[in-house]
């Protein structure tokens, strides 16, 4: 069978390989036939050794990448009674678990949720990992379908995979949404339906943002050094319930640089410092780390099955094009998700 993997961290190039099919799924595992998958920034980073002390302690290669998928169940392991062979599922798995860039792969049951025919393969191919991260970020900011109505929410990195889903969810729940991204992605943000759109390269417009909740889904890590205009906005306000949540944090960077123990300790210290500093201004501050969650996957699948939900896919290719696109660091980034479909459905 075909699989895409890295043979080492230097240069971290995604390679095409023909490998034996995986063994039968173990207890509480499912075996899946890939229909579609997507690129997430974490895989490009993992390919170059990011998080290796946590994800690949013994330095074993090859490493299969891929954090999400839409796939069909071909076998279930012992103990699984709520998923049947032949069902189509939405998949999201952290880098601690095996990857999805293969014709066939095994994953734990908690990485998948069954989906209905209304959710398209194209959307499902890119929804799992970015979607769960977005949902978990909004949840960390105390936003939900019950609480978001009327709240002023700013999504930074709104043109990305995580940010696009966060904008769609916050709008669906009734929040007033300011979307921040580069000016070139303005049309994308308009199509998502954001109430206000701001270019992060425009300091005056950034300083003018009216929001009580910031959800940061932008690429640069929220570390100790940088000045953060979005945090400054919250500090100037006095409304209750102000929150700053970020998906972009230095945990894995610190682990890569200093090893697991020192890396977790260093980033833990940074986190506490930032939480305390925010609390002094009455702001709830949280880092979000993706966690597998089949119930939340089901929720996303039902929301994105709705024909009125905005499209999150910016580019769609055949599965065989994955290494070429993945390895092309000079390629212009398309907004939303870049997905890859096999000929299966
Ligand atoms: N903590 C976790 O478990 C977890 C899980 C998933 C993702 N993440 C992280 O969350 C971030 C977003 O992921 P993604 O999949 O949405 O990535 P993505 O699709 O590559 O999107 C990145 C976003 O960052 C914006 N951006 C880039 N440079 C920026 C800058 N200098 N200032 C402000 N915004 C900037 C981009 O805007 P333009 O393209 O318009 O410039 C785009 O909206 C990444 O850092 C990723 O590693 C974390």
Can you tell me the mean pLDDT for 190-217?
Answer: 97
Atom 22 (ligand 1) nearest CA = 160
Binding site membership of 157 for ligand 1 (Cβ less than 6 Å): yes
Beta bridge partners of 20: none
Stated as kind and residue range, the H or E segment containing 267 is: helix 260-280
Return the CATH number at 35: 3.90.180.10
Q: Domain end: 287, 309, 331, which one?
A: 287
Within 10 Å of residue 320's Cβ, how many Cβ atoms?
13
Return the CATH number at 162: 3.40.50.720
Do both 282 and 295 map to the same domain?
no
- pLDDT > 70? residue 209: yes
Atom 41 (ligand 1) nearest CA = 182
pLDDT number for residue 344: 79
Measured from the Cα of 181, ligand 1's closest atom is 40
pLDDT in tens, 3-61: 999 999 998 999 999 999 999 999 999 999 999 999 999 999 999 999 999 999 999 99
Which residues contact residue 219 at a Cβ distance below 8 angstroms, ignoring those fewer than 6 apart?
41, 157, 160, 248
Do both 144 and 277 map to the same domain?
yes
Binding site membership of 218 for ligand 1 (Cβ less than 6 Å): yes
Give, for ligand 1, the residue of 187, 191, 217, 332 to mutate: max count of ligand atoms closer than 8 Å to Cβ.
217
Percent of the chain with pLDDT over 90: 93
pLDDT in tens, 269-297: 999 999 999 999 999 999 999 999 999 99
- pLDDT > 80? residue 220: no
pLDDT number for residue 225: 61
Q: In the structure, what pLDDT confidence band is assigned to residue 151 with cuts at 50, 70 and 90? A: very high
Domain residue limits at 218: 133-287
pLDDT number for residue 224: 59
pLDDT in tens, 63-82: 999 999 999 999 999 999 99
- The residue whose two tokens read 């023909």 is 18
Q: Summarize the chain as % helix, strand, coil (round to 5).
A: 35, 25, 40
Binding site membership of 160 for ligand 1 (Cβ less than 6 Å): yes
Closest listed residue to residue 26, CA positions, set 131, 97, 113, 122: 97
């Amino acid at each position: 069978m075909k699989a895409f993997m890295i043979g080492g961290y230097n240069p971290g190039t995604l390679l095409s390989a023909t490998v034996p099919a995986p063994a039968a799924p173990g207890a509480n595992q499912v075996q899946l036939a890939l229909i579609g998958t997507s690129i997430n920034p974490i895989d490009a980073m993992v390919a170059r050794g990011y998080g290796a002390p946590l994800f690949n302690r013994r330095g074993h290669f090859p490493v299969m990448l891929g954090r999400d998928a839409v796939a069909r169940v071909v076998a279930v392991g012992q103990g699984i009674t709520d998923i049947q062979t032949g069902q189509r599922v939405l998949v999201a798995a952290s880098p601690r678990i095996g990857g999805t860039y293969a014709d066939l792969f095994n994953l734990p049951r908690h990485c998948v949720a069954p989906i209905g025919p209304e959710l398209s393969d194209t959307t499902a191919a890119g929804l799992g990992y970015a979607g769960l991260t977005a949902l978990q970020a909004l949840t960390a900011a105390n936003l939900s379908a019950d609480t978001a109505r009327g709240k002023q929410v700013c999504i930074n990195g709104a043109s990305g995979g995580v940010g696009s889903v966060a904008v769609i969810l916050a709008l669906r729940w009734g929040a007033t949404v300011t979307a921040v991204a580069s000016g070139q992605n303005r049309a994308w943000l308009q199509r998502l339906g954001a109430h206000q759109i701001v270019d992060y390269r425009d300091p005056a417009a950034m300083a003018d943002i009216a929001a009580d909740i910031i959800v940061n889904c932008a690429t640069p890590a929220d570390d100790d050094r940088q000045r953060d205009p979005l945090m400054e906005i919250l500090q100037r306000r006095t409304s209750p319930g102000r929150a700053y949540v970020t998906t972009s944090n230095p945990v894995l960077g610190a682990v890569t640089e200093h090893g697991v123990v020192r890396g977790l300790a260093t980033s833990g210290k940074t986190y506490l410092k930032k939480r305390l500093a925010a609390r002094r201004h009455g702001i709830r501050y949280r880092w979000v780390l993706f966690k597998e969650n089949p119930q939340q996957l089901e929720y996303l699948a039902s929301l994105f099955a709705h024909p009125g939900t905005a499209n999150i896919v910016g580019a769609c290719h055949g599965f065989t094009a994955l290494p070429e696109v993945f390895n092309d660091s000079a390629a212009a980034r398309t907004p939303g998700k870049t997905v890859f479909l096999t000929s299966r459905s």
